[in-house]
A and B are shown apart, each in its own frame.
Chain A
Amino acid sequence: MSSTAAHYLPVGTVYGTLLNFRAEVEALAPRMTQPPYKAAPKAPVLYVKTANTWSPHGSAITVPASVPEVEIGASIGMVIGAEGDVEGFVLMNDLSIPHASFFRPPVKFKCVDGFLGIGPALRDAQEVADPANFRVEVRINGALKQSIDFSQLVRPAQQLLADVGEFMTLAHGDVLLLGCDAGRPLARAGDRIEISSPGFETLTNTLVQETAA
């Protein structure tokens, strides 16, 4: 494949969104009224994918030696334009160390070096009639593991932008992920992950084992 030099990388802050797929909310619903949550969230639940997590298309992502498997979080990011509008869309692989609690910020599980695969190119927002039409597929070593239908968002793209804009300004170059659906596949060192969607260049990353320093 081509070199990574020309591939898109964000210039702003990348924000992930939790609980923005209906199936993901349904899976957690029985626990939402229990401690420690006590209530369903009212506002979007966001987290930051720090710059150390950014892995360009085609790169190898290191799985820490202490972690047998990682969760694949296929998603699409909205890249913010100069006027606060959406400039483009990009495929992303929001990797996590699996964690059962969503009470505390997930920094240790989501901000590990390399844990955000970034699609090779932006898709111009002008080409996209409605983000609800997005369909994304996840393949591990060529086998289809997950199909994601973005008509199933709790907050559709424009509503998510508006609700986030109620409490913070997304700057030019920031990226806001639409969320990851339930049923996220697990993968391990040695696996090749492909995230594809019609109209997008496929995002590929391989997982490699951490070697002793």
Chain B
Amino acid sequence: MKHARVIYEGREHTGIAHEFGGLPHAAVRLDDGRIVPQEQLTWLPPLAPTARPRTILALGLNYADHAKELEFKAPEEPLVFVKGQSTLIGHRQHTHRPTGVQFMHYECELAIVIGKTAKNVKRGDAYDFIGGYTVANDYAIRDYLENWYRPNLRVKNRDTCTPLGPWFVDAADVPDPMALALKTTVNGTVTQQGSTRDMIFDAPFLIEYFSGFMTLSPGDLILTGTPDGVVDCKPGDVVVTEIERIGTLVNTIAGT
């Protein structure tokens, strides 16, 4: 099942993906039974905010080709940073590009949503702890990269810079999350293509690794990194990050 969290007619709703005009997932069946086309909804990140803020872990350089593109050798241990919850926005929202920056790029990423409390999980059991998946677009503003706790929060934790969605997809509906095609288009032109099979550290590894020193809780997110092919995005650009079986996340760049 594909779950959404949206605002319609001034009220927040949950809902599930529904066919519309012959297209699967073109609408949402709201919790009150109404069927509303995607474009009439205001989309929220498909996970409800938690009383204790969700932990958002994000991987850098987790695809060998991206690591090469950025002139780094592939890491021997996951390169991970943490994001705050206020960077998240939903599907069909705007992401702000600050004035005067030279290089701001999307990163199409499979986001793992933790389904139950995980501590010291072994690799072989890791899938039992995954609740589902969504698509993340983990924007970076490279102008602000400094060599202190890199990538620093000024690059990665800016308001509106982590679109998430449209759907939360139940883990049961994704038989092999480690063989999904990823694709990004900018204004309709394909700029990034890859497969989750090319991750250096795969989902079971990451759950074993993180749960070895920190307890993961339901709703926590692991953004698993991005493949080769990042390009600069300008105000007005429509950036579509898409992952097979998970969803197509649309985002527009706005100036400030």
Chain A residues with a Cβ under 8 A of chain B:
9, 11-13, 15, 18-19, 36-39, 41-43, 45-48, 50-54, 64, 102-108, 111-113, 167-171, 174, 213
Contact = CB atoms under 8 A, between A and B. Distances in A.
A51 B84 CA distance: 11
Given A50-B214, A105-B82, A213-B120, A167 B149 contact: no
Interface string B52-91: 1111010000000000000000000001111111110000
A51 B158 contact: no
Interface of B: 51-55, 57, 79-87, 119-120, 144, 146-154, 157-159, 213-217
A169 B82 contact: no
B82 A45 contact: no
Given A43-B154, A45-B152, A167-B153, A50 B82 contact: yes
B125 to A, nearest CB: 14
* Main SS class of interface, B: loop
Given A103-B150, A168-B158, A174 B79 contact: no
A174 B84 contact: yes
Contact of A48 (B84, B148, B215): B84
B215 A113 contact: yes
B214 A52 contact: yes
A53 B55 CA distance: 11
B157 A168 contact: yes
A18 B215 contact: no
* Main SS class of interface, A: loop
A62 B176 CA distance: 36
B120 A51 contact: no
A168 B148 contact: no
29 contacts: A11-B51, A12-B53, A18-B148, A36-B147, A37-B147, A39-B146, A43-B144, A43-B146, A45-B148, A46-B149, A51-B52, A51-B53, A52-B55, A52-B215, A102-B148, A104-B149, A105-B82, A111-B213, A112-B213, A113-B119, A167-B144, A167-B157, A168-B153, A168-B157, A168-B158, A169-B86, A169-B159, A171-B85, A171-B86
Contacts of A50: 55, 82, 214
A18 B149 CA distance: 9
Contacts of A37: 147-148
A43 B84 contact: no
Contact of B158 (A53, A104, A167): A167
Nearest to A49: B82
Contact of A13 (B84, B144, B147, B217): B84
Nearest to B119: A113
A38 B153 contact: no
B214 A113 contact: yes
Specify which of A41, A48, A54, A111 lies most central, judged by the most chain B CB atoms within 10 Å of its CB: A48
Contact of B81 (A45, A51, A105): A105
Closest 5 CB pairs of A and B: A48-B82, A105-B81, A13-B84, A51-B52, A45-B148
A213 B119 CA distance: 11
B84 A168 contact: yes
Specify which of A11, A18, A51, A53 lies most central, judged by the most chain B CB atoms within 10 Å of its CB: A51
